[in-house]
Protein backbone atom coordinates (compact mmCIF):
# COMPACT_ATOMS: atom_id res chain seq x y z
CA UNK A 1 0.00 0.00 0.00
CA UNK A 2 1.31 3.44 -0.96
CA UNK A 3 1.07 5.72 2.09
CA UNK A 4 -0.93 8.94 1.86
CA UNK A 5 1.18 12.12 2.01
CA UNK A 6 -1.34 13.96 4.18
CA UNK A 7 -3.60 16.94 3.63
CA UNK A 8 -2.12 20.23 2.39
CA UNK A 9 -2.31 23.46 4.38
CA UNK A 10 -4.80 24.96 1.94
CA UNK A 11 -7.47 22.82 0.34
CA UNK A 12 -11.06 22.83 -0.81
CA UNK A 13 -13.91 21.06 0.94
CA UNK A 14 -17.04 19.28 -0.28
CA UNK A 15 -20.32 19.60 1.59
CA UNK A 16 -22.07 16.34 2.50
CA UNK A 17 -25.61 16.34 4.00
CA UNK A 18 -25.58 15.45 7.70
CA UNK A 19 -28.29 12.88 7.10
CA UNK A 20 -25.81 10.92 4.99
CA UNK A 21 -23.79 10.09 8.11
CA UNK A 22 -26.73 9.54 10.46
CA UNK A 23 -29.16 7.58 8.29
CA UNK A 24 -27.55 6.50 5.02
CA UNK A 25 -23.94 5.51 5.78
CA UNK A 26 -24.91 2.83 8.35
CA UNK A 27 -26.99 1.08 5.67
CA UNK A 28 -24.32 0.86 2.96
CA UNK A 29 -22.37 -2.39 3.24
CA UNK A 30 -20.80 -2.49 -0.24
CA UNK A 31 -17.53 -0.58 -0.64
CA UNK A 32 -18.11 0.14 -4.34
CA UNK A 33 -21.53 1.65 -3.64
CA UNK A 34 -20.01 3.78 -0.86
CA UNK A 35 -17.19 5.03 -3.10
CA UNK A 36 -19.55 5.87 -5.96
CA UNK A 37 -22.04 7.54 -3.63
CA UNK A 38 -19.39 9.83 -2.17
CA UNK A 39 -17.99 10.58 -5.61
CA UNK A 40 -21.41 11.48 -7.07
CA UNK A 41 -22.21 13.68 -4.06
CA UNK A 42 -18.92 15.51 -4.59
CA UNK A 43 -19.60 15.93 -8.31
CA UNK A 44 -23.13 17.21 -7.75
CA UNK A 45 -21.80 19.82 -5.32
CA UNK A 46 -19.65 21.36 -8.07
CA UNK A 47 -22.51 21.59 -10.57
CA UNK A 48 -24.35 24.79 -11.37
CA UNK A 49 -27.91 25.42 -12.50
CA UNK A 50 -31.02 23.42 -11.73
CA UNK A 51 -31.42 20.55 -11.53
CA UNK A 52 -27.91 19.43 -10.76
CA UNK A 53 -27.05 16.08 -12.30
CA UNK A 54 -24.07 13.92 -13.18
CA UNK A 55 -23.93 11.63 -16.20
CA UNK A 56 -22.80 8.02 -16.37
CA UNK A 57 -20.40 9.03 -19.16
CA UNK A 58 -18.50 11.54 -17.03
CA UNK A 59 -18.31 9.11 -14.13
CA UNK A 60 -16.95 6.36 -16.40
CA UNK A 61 -14.32 8.74 -17.81
CA UNK A 62 -13.02 9.96 -14.46
CA UNK A 63 -9.53 8.50 -13.80
CA UNK A 64 -9.71 8.86 -9.99
CA UNK A 65 -12.98 6.94 -9.78
CA UNK A 66 -11.70 4.36 -12.25
CA UNK A 67 -8.58 3.76 -10.17
CA UNK A 68 -10.70 3.47 -7.06
CA UNK A 69 -13.04 0.84 -8.54
CA UNK A 70 -10.32 -1.27 -10.17
CA UNK A 71 -10.07 -3.10 -13.50
CA UNK A 72 -13.75 -3.97 -13.92
CA UNK A 73 -14.76 -0.32 -13.68
CA UNK A 74 -17.76 -0.25 -16.11
CA UNK A 75 -19.45 -3.27 -14.54
CA UNK A 76 -18.65 -2.26 -10.97
CA UNK A 77 -19.72 1.33 -11.61
CA UNK A 78 -23.02 0.27 -13.15
CA UNK A 79 -23.80 -2.11 -10.31
CA UNK A 80 -22.91 0.49 -7.67
CA UNK A 81 -25.06 3.18 -9.29
CA UNK A 82 -27.96 0.76 -9.57
CA UNK A 83 -27.61 -0.10 -5.88
CA UNK A 84 -27.52 3.58 -4.90
CA UNK A 85 -30.61 4.28 -7.01
CA UNK A 86 -32.45 1.29 -5.55
CA UNK A 87 -31.53 2.46 -2.06
CA UNK A 88 -33.05 5.85 -2.83
CA UNK A 89 -29.84 7.89 -2.63
CA UNK A 90 -30.02 9.03 -6.25
CA UNK A 91 -32.63 9.36 -8.96
CA UNK A 92 -31.82 7.73 -12.31
CA UNK A 93 -33.12 9.07 -15.60
CA UNK A 94 -32.40 7.45 -18.98
CA UNK A 95 -32.46 9.89 -21.90
CA UNK A 96 -32.25 9.71 -25.68
CA UNK A 97 -29.48 12.05 -26.87
CA UNK A 98 -29.11 12.13 -30.63
CA UNK A 99 -30.17 8.50 -30.86
CA UNK A 100 -27.84 7.38 -28.08
CA UNK A 101 -28.75 6.39 -24.53
CA UNK A 102 -27.60 8.98 -22.00
CA UNK A 103 -27.97 8.13 -18.29
CA UNK A 104 -27.96 10.80 -15.61
CA UNK A 105 -28.19 10.75 -11.82
CA UNK A 106 -29.66 13.34 -9.47
CA UNK A 107 -29.88 13.61 -5.70
CA UNK A 108 -33.11 12.07 -4.43
CA UNK A 109 -34.63 15.24 -2.98
CA UNK A 110 -37.97 16.99 -3.43
CA UNK A 111 -36.75 19.60 -5.95
CA UNK A 112 -35.04 16.98 -8.12
CA UNK A 113 -38.08 14.68 -8.07
CA UNK A 114 -40.20 17.58 -9.25
CA UNK A 115 -37.63 18.35 -11.97
CA UNK A 116 -37.81 14.78 -13.27
CA UNK A 117 -41.60 14.96 -13.30
CA UNK A 118 -41.38 18.18 -15.34
CA UNK A 119 -38.88 16.62 -17.76
CA UNK A 120 -40.99 13.52 -18.26
CA UNK A 121 -44.08 15.61 -18.89
CA UNK A 122 -42.25 17.85 -21.36
CA UNK A 123 -42.70 21.00 -19.27
CA UNK A 124 -38.96 21.60 -19.00
CA UNK A 125 -35.58 20.58 -20.40
CA UNK A 126 -32.27 19.95 -18.71
CA UNK A 127 -29.88 22.92 -18.96
CA UNK A 128 -27.34 22.47 -21.75
CA UNK A 129 -28.70 19.06 -22.74
CA UNK A 130 -31.08 18.44 -25.63
CA UNK A 131 -32.54 15.06 -24.83
CA UNK A 132 -35.81 13.37 -24.02
CA UNK A 133 -36.74 10.49 -21.70
CA UNK A 134 -36.37 7.12 -23.40
CA UNK A 135 -39.45 5.62 -21.79
CA UNK A 136 -42.62 7.62 -22.10
CA UNK A 137 -45.06 7.32 -19.24
CA UNK A 138 -46.72 9.17 -16.43
CA UNK A 139 -44.69 11.76 -14.59
CA UNK A 140 -43.03 10.85 -11.30
CA UNK A 141 -45.52 11.25 -8.49
CA UNK A 142 -44.35 13.94 -6.09
CA UNK A 143 -46.47 13.82 -2.96
CA UNK A 144 -46.20 16.67 -0.47
CA UNK A 145 -44.65 14.88 2.47
CA UNK A 146 -45.65 17.62 4.91
CA UNK A 147 -49.30 17.64 3.82
CA UNK A 148 -49.42 13.85 4.01
CA UNK A 149 -48.19 14.00 7.57
CA UNK A 150 -50.55 16.75 8.71
CA UNK A 151 -53.59 15.21 7.05
CA UNK A 152 -53.01 11.71 8.40
CA UNK A 153 -50.74 11.81 11.45
CA UNK A 154 -50.76 15.10 13.35
CA UNK A 155 -49.41 18.60 13.89
CA UNK A 156 -46.29 19.53 11.92
CA UNK A 157 -43.73 20.86 14.40
CA UNK A 158 -40.26 22.19 13.45
CA UNK A 159 -38.65 19.04 14.82
CA UNK A 160 -40.97 16.80 12.83
CA UNK A 161 -40.36 18.89 9.71
CA UNK A 162 -36.61 18.29 10.01
CA UNK A 163 -37.16 14.53 10.29
CA UNK A 164 -39.44 14.58 7.25
CA UNK A 165 -36.76 16.39 5.24
CA UNK A 166 -34.32 13.60 6.10
CA UNK A 167 -36.84 10.96 5.05
CA UNK A 168 -37.24 12.73 1.69
CA UNK A 169 -33.54 12.17 1.03
CA UNK A 170 -33.41 8.59 2.26
CA UNK A 171 -36.49 7.05 0.66
CA UNK A 172 -38.44 7.24 -2.63
CA UNK A 173 -41.47 9.58 -2.35
CA UNK A 174 -43.97 6.77 -2.95
CA UNK A 175 -42.61 4.84 0.04
CA UNK A 176 -43.56 7.50 2.55
CA UNK A 177 -47.06 7.74 1.14
CA UNK A 178 -47.52 3.97 1.33
CA UNK A 179 -45.99 3.81 4.82
CA UNK A 180 -48.44 6.48 6.01
CA UNK A 181 -51.33 4.54 4.47
CA UNK A 182 -50.23 1.36 6.21
CA UNK A 183 -49.73 3.09 9.57
CA UNK A 184 -53.19 4.65 9.35
CA UNK A 185 -54.78 1.31 8.43
CA UNK A 186 -53.23 -0.20 11.58
CA UNK A 187 -54.22 2.83 13.66
CA UNK A 188 -50.54 3.52 14.35
CA UNK A 189 -50.53 7.27 13.70
CA UNK A 190 -46.95 7.93 14.72
CA UNK A 191 -43.91 9.16 12.83
CA UNK A 192 -41.83 6.65 14.78
CA UNK A 193 -43.94 3.81 13.46
CA UNK A 194 -43.72 5.13 9.89
CA UNK A 195 -39.93 5.30 10.20
CA UNK A 196 -39.85 1.70 11.38
CA UNK A 197 -41.87 0.66 8.34
CA UNK A 198 -39.45 2.46 6.01
CA UNK A 199 -36.41 1.01 7.75
CA UNK A 200 -37.91 -2.47 7.48
CA UNK A 201 -38.56 -2.05 3.76
CA UNK A 202 -35.03 -0.78 3.18
CA UNK A 203 -33.52 -3.66 5.18
CA UNK A 204 -35.70 -6.58 4.11
CA UNK A 205 -37.02 -5.47 0.74
CA UNK A 206 -40.26 -3.65 0.15
CA UNK A 207 -41.81 -6.44 -1.93
CA UNK A 208 -41.79 -9.02 0.85
CA UNK A 209 -45.28 -8.25 2.06
CA UNK A 210 -47.12 -5.94 4.37
CA UNK A 211 -45.20 -4.63 7.34
CA UNK A 212 -47.36 -5.21 10.43
CA UNK A 213 -47.21 -6.81 13.85
CA UNK A 214 -47.49 -10.58 14.05
CA UNK A 215 -51.08 -10.78 15.25
CA UNK A 216 -51.03 -14.58 15.28
CA UNK A 217 -48.45 -14.61 18.04
CA UNK A 218 -50.17 -11.76 19.85
CA UNK A 219 -46.96 -9.79 20.09
CA UNK A 220 -45.86 -6.56 18.47
CA UNK A 221 -42.80 -7.40 16.34
CA UNK A 222 -41.14 -4.13 17.46
CA UNK A 223 -41.62 -4.65 21.20
CA UNK A 224 -38.00 -5.72 21.76
CA UNK A 225 -36.45 -3.19 19.38
CA UNK A 226 -35.05 0.26 20.00
CA UNK A 227 -38.31 2.18 19.58
CA UNK A 228 -40.57 -0.58 20.88
CA UNK A 229 -41.96 1.63 23.63
CA UNK A 230 -43.14 4.08 20.97
CA UNK A 231 -44.71 1.77 18.40
CA UNK A 232 -46.10 -0.88 20.78
CA UNK A 233 -49.83 -1.41 20.67
Domain that holds residue 78: 18-133
User: Which residues does 11 contact at the CB level (< 8 Å), separation at least 6?
Assistant: none
- Give 40's contacts (C-beta < 8 A, 6+ positions apart): 54, 59, 81, 84, 90, 105
Question: Do the domain assignments include residue 191?
Answer: yes
Residue count (the chain): 233
Same domain flag for 98 and 151:
no
DSSP state of 104: E
User: pTM for this one?
Assistant: 0.58
Give how many domains the chain has, as a whole number.
Answer: 2
For residue 7, being part of any structural domain is answered with no
Residue 6 located in a structural domain: no
Q: How confident is the model over 25-76, as pLDDT tens digits? A: 999 999 999 999 999 999 999 988 888 999 999 999 999 998 898 866 788 8
Least confident of 7-16, 31-40, 78-87, 123-132: 123-132
User: Strand 100-107 vs strand 132-133: parallel, antiparallel, or unpaired?
Assistant: unpaired
Residue 202 phi/psi, 5-degree rounding, is -65, -35
In angstroms, the CA 132 to CA 119 distance is: 8
In-domain check, residue 63: yes
Last residue of a domain, one of 111, 133, 155: 133
β-pairing, 54-55 vs 90-97, is unpaired
- C-alpha dist (Å) from residue 206 to 41, 178, 179, 185, 195: 25, 11, 11, 17, 13
* pLDDT tens figures, 69-108: 886 678 889 999 999 999 999 999 988 888 888 899 999 9
Domain CATH number, residue 85:
1.10.10
Amino acid sequence: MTPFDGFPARMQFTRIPNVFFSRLLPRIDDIAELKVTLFVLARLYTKKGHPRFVSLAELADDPALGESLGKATPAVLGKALEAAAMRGTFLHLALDRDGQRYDIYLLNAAAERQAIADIQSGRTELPGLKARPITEGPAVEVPDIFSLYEENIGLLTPMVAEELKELEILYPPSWFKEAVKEAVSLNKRSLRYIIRILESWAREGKGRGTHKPDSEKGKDKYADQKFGHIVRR
